[in-house]
Chain A
Amino acid sequence: EAGVTQSPTHLIKTRGQQATLRCSPISGHTSVYWYQQALGLGLQFLLWYDEGEERNRGNFPPRFSGRQFPNYSSELNVNALELEDSALYLCASSPLMASPLHFGNGTRLTVT
């Protein structure tokens, strides 16, 4: 069974640009979660989608947005990039809303 896949693996952008990160959940999983892992800050919850709907959102500005497609894959968009957006962005999926999360290996976003 394929795990959670994320693309691209690495992404380099300049300040002010926009970034799009993609995630494919494990087959059969309907919930997708996005977390930001910045150095020394642990995993900060960004967004949670289930069955195409946004279920919960973390304390991030509106320039962080996303969506979930009918095939349950998901996209995270970050507009007007700032230097402090540099981090590892992790996507996770679960089969049910209360189930443990299974993570991908992340997208390393670097903003210069």
Chain B
Amino acid sequence: GQQLNQSPQSMFIQEGEDVSMNCTSSSIFNTWLWYKQDPGEGPVLLIALYKAGELTPNGRLTAQFGITRKDSFLNISASIPSDVGIYFCAGRPTGANSKLTFGKGITLSVRP
């Protein structure tokens, strides 16, 4: 089945810094999603991508759908303490009943 790779497992940055995360797949996806999970809560959708090459902003966040359709990237600019959390990528291949597969997530820590 499809697998999504997110690494490293944890990232530590200084407040104000930019950070980039990527997600790679062994399969082609036609949808990429990025979620953030805060402690004690469910994941919240940050950005949805539906077209190869698409670059979509959401405030200080920007995500890109890779040209090969096997990867996606999330950038956070000028990080702030509330950016702390677990960031998950998720992808869905073509097919009517195809499931949404999640990566294992990256835990982001922001030092004030």
Query: Are the CB atoms of A105 and B99 closer together than 8 Å?
Result: no
A56 touches B33 (CB 8 A): no
Cβ–Cβ < 8 Å partners of A59 in chain B: 1
CB atoms of A105 and B42 under 8 A apart: yes
CA distance A16 to B107 in the complex (A): 34
Chain A: minimal CB distance from B15 (Å): 27
B48/A100 in contact, CB under 8 A: yes
| Number of chain A interface residues as a range | 20 to 34
Contacts of B43 in A (CB 8 A): 43, 90, 103
For this complex, into which size category does the number of interface residues on chain B fall?
A: 20 to 34
In the complex, chain B residues 1-57 whose Cβ is within 8 Å of any chain A Cβ: 1, 31, 33, 35, 40-45, 48
Q: Which residues of A contact B98 (CB under 8 A)?
A: 56
- For window 7-44 of A, CB contacts with B under 8 Å fall at 33, 35, 40-44
Give residues in B with beta carbon < 8 Å to A.
1, 31, 33, 35, 40-45, 48, 88, 90, 92, 96-105
Q: A-side interface residues toward B, CB under 8 Å?
A: 4, 33, 35, 40-45, 48, 55-56, 58-59, 90, 92, 97-98, 100-106
Known: A42-B103, A43-B88, A59-B1. 15 other contacts (CB 8 A): A40-B104, A42-B102, A43-B102, A48-B97, A56-B97, A56-B99, A90-B43, A92-B42, A97-B96, A101-B45, A101-B100, A103-B35, A104-B42, A105-B40, A106-B42
